[in-house]
Chain A
Amino acid sequence: MSAIYILWLRELKRYTRSRAQIIASLGQPMLYLLVLGFGLGPIFKRAGAGNYLQFIAPGVIGMSVLFSSIFSGLGLLWDRQFGFLKETLVAPVSRIQIMIGRTLGGATVACIQGLIVMIICLIAGFRPASLAAIPVAVGFMILIAFLFAALGMAIGSGLQDMQGFQLIMNFLVLPIYFLSGAMFPLNTDLALPLKYATRIDPLSYGIDGMRNAFGSPNTAFNLSLDLLVLVVLACILMVYGAHRFTKIEV
């Protein structure tokens, strides 16, 4: 059994054991799906933009994957001082292996979370174009999960206190979510600054990719561009995250 495997397994065990956390982390996406989905639905339809539930479901799935994956990395702050991280950092195992194990674990948990939200969306009335769309959408989920787990790892490696965590939450995680086109379409005449901001947000491409896969209305880019951006960024962030992780001082 290797270090990577055991650390991956640890993340999964922790996830499946914390039932309260599973339910809590589903609460927010549910609010967005049900309140926004049904609340804004009629107005969206009146604007001639189609069915809002069909539109927002990929956004809500993307949101749950984003939050779950990025927090797995940001949690390093706490884990370094009062958790298990120190135990792994003095073990005779390379930091890269530890980082990979944790990132894989965090990304896997985020994907499970995304799948649960997808199932709830299906129950709520979301209908993908075909069943074959689902594996492609799951592929995009995996990419989003990796990308943000690595980003969380890179940022979490440098966090010093709880205030820093709040800062990242308000000035990085929430903007990534709000600018991603999860809730409003990106293929409209947005004000230029907003348009550019949405274009540099990696999650835009992840959610757009899922929309392309599901055949949802109002996609902004084509599937291959979404895929390319996500794969390249995920690779860069994995390398960057690993680099930052090896620099952690306890």
Chain B
Amino acid sequence: MIRVRNLVKTFGNFTAVNDVSFEVAEGEIFAFLGPNGAGKTTTIKMLTTLLKPTSGSIELDGLNPQAKQNEARRRFGIVFQDPSLDGDLTAWENMQIHAVLYHVPHKVWPKRTEELLKLFELWDRRDDQVKKFSGGMKRRLEIARGFLHTPRILFLDEPTLGLDPQSRNQLWSHVKRVNETEKVTVMLTTHYMDEADRVAHRVGIIDHGKLVAQGTPAEIKQQTGAADLEGAFLKLTGNTIRDEDADPAAAMRQFAQMWQQNRR
């Protein structure tokens, strides 16, 4: 379903993604793990047509996303690291806009929206403005929205960041259910190794732009001789802390957090 070969992305002298190759089979849940700044988000951006690769090839459901951008975009859904809902609109209206932008026929989307909102336990709140939702509810709505146009692939970039264990658990059980019933391929990134261990069929570990290991969680643990995935991850990527230089987005993220705390 996803086939990546020798993918490279450089920004000036800096190589963010360095010769990465992997495949994800149909219906699989693939976790893409790595320390901060390892190249996870850059890879996801290239897969989702937001960035042009410097070299290498990508295939999504047999399509080259650079050459056939719009066809490729119809086939995947994405949940970004930062929120992308419209807080002034209601949950229902957010779904409606998505349906229109993804050309979901008018006969189809209201029913599918109802199903998804019920599945993600948001149906009772469908007419409330999204800004009144909790962090977990917003995340669920974003994921429900990602499924609305029945994509073949769903990308989740750190979807559980900042959520409590209850919300995280609930979120993954919903994702797993849709993955099983609709055979949607899921590619996710997360910093919570226990989540990856529980949810993912296979994981890939990336560090300094290079893919250092891939396989089932059990295989990775076996390779490294670690008791759990977190131990394996630390063995593969070392214990040094990656201090990234703050980019404008990070500065704004900090500002947004302050703002949200002050409002509570």
The answer to whether B106 touches A249, judged by C-beta atoms less than 8 angstroms apart, is: no
Q: Is B119 among interface residues, defined by CB-CB distance under 8 A? A: no
Q: Is B143 an interface residue (CB 8 A)?
A: no
User: B86: which A residues are within 8 A, CB to CB?
Assistant: 10, 14, 83-84
Known: A1-B100, A92-B101. A84 touches B73 (CB 8 A): no
The reply to whether B129 and A17 contact each other, CB–CB distance below 8 Å, is yes
Q: How far is the CB of A59 from chain B (nearest CB, A)?
A: 31
Q: Which residues of chain B from 230 to 257 have a CB within 8 Å of any chain A CB?
A: 248-249, 251-253, 255-256
Q: Which of B54-62, B88-96, B184-192 contacts A (4 or more CB under 8 A)?
A: B88-96
Q: Is A81 an interface position by the 8 A CB rule?
A: yes
Contact B102 A92 (CB under 8 A): yes
B80 at the interface (CB under 8 A from A): yes
CB neighbours (8 Å) of A218 from chain B are none
Q: Is A172 an interface residue (CB 8 A)?
A: no
Cβ of B183 under 8 Å from chain A: no
**A82 within 8 Å of B (CB atoms):** yes
> Is A45's beta carbon under 8 Å from chain B?
no
Given A13-B89, A161-B252, do A6 and B101 touch, yes or no (CB 8 Å)?
Answer: yes
Q: Is B82 an interface residue (CB 8 A)?
A: yes
Residues of chain A lying within 8 A (CB to CB) of residue B70: 92-93
A91 to B100 CA separation, bound complex (whole angstroms): 10
A87–B98 touching, CB < 8 Å: yes
B193-229 residues with Cβ-Cβ distance < 8 A to A are none
A250 to B97: give the CA distance in the assembly, Å. 20
Chain A, interface size: which category?
Answer: 20 to 34
User: Hey, which chain A residues are within 8 Å of B88, CB to CB?
Assistant: 13-14, 17-18
User: Quick check: is A86 within 8 A (CB to CB) of the other chain?
Assistant: yes
- Interface positions, chain A 78-96, Cβ under 8 Å from B, are 78, 81-93
By beta carbon, the residue of chain B nearest A87 is B84
Task: Decide if A90 touches B252 in the complex (CB within 8 Å).
Answer: no
| B129 surroundings in chain A (CB, below 8 A) | 17
Contact (Cβ within 8 A) A84 B252: no
Let me know if A91 and B89 touch, CB within 8 A.
no
From known contacts A3-B100, A13-B89, infer whether A161 and B251 are also in contact, taking CB-CB under 8 Å. Answer: yes
Chain A residues with Cβ below 8 Å from B255 are 162
Chain A residues lying within 8 Å of B89, measured Cβ to Cβ, are 10, 13-14
In the complex, which of the residues B48, B78, B98, B256 contacts A82, with contact meaning CB atoms closer than 8 Å? B256
Closest residue of A by beta carbon distance from B98: A87
What is the minimal beta-carbon distance from B53 to any residue of chain A, in angstroms?
13
Binary CB contact string for chain B from 63 to 76 against chain A (1 if under 8 A, 0 otherwise): 00000011101100
Instruction: Tell me whether A130 is interfacial, beta carbon within 8 Å.
Output: no
Q: Is the pair B101, A91 in contact by a Cβ cutoff of 8 Å?
A: yes
Return the contact of A88 from the options B101, B251, B253 (Cβ within 8 A).
B101
Chain A nearest Cβ from B128, distance in angstroms = 12
CA distance in complex: A250, B83 (Å): 13
Name B residues whose Cβ lies closer than 8 Å to a Cβ of A. 45, 48-51, 69-71, 73-74, 78, 80, 82-86, 88-89, 93, 96-98, 100-103, 106, 129, 145, 248-249, 251-253, 255-256
Interface CB pairs A-B, < 8 A, 11:
A7-B97, A10-B89, A14-B86, A17-B88, A81-B253, A83-B83, A83-B84, A84-B84, A87-B101, A92-B70, A92-B73
The 8 closest A-B pairs by CB, nearest first: A91-B101, A161-B248, A92-B73, A92-B70, A84-B86, A87-B84, A6-B100, A14-B88
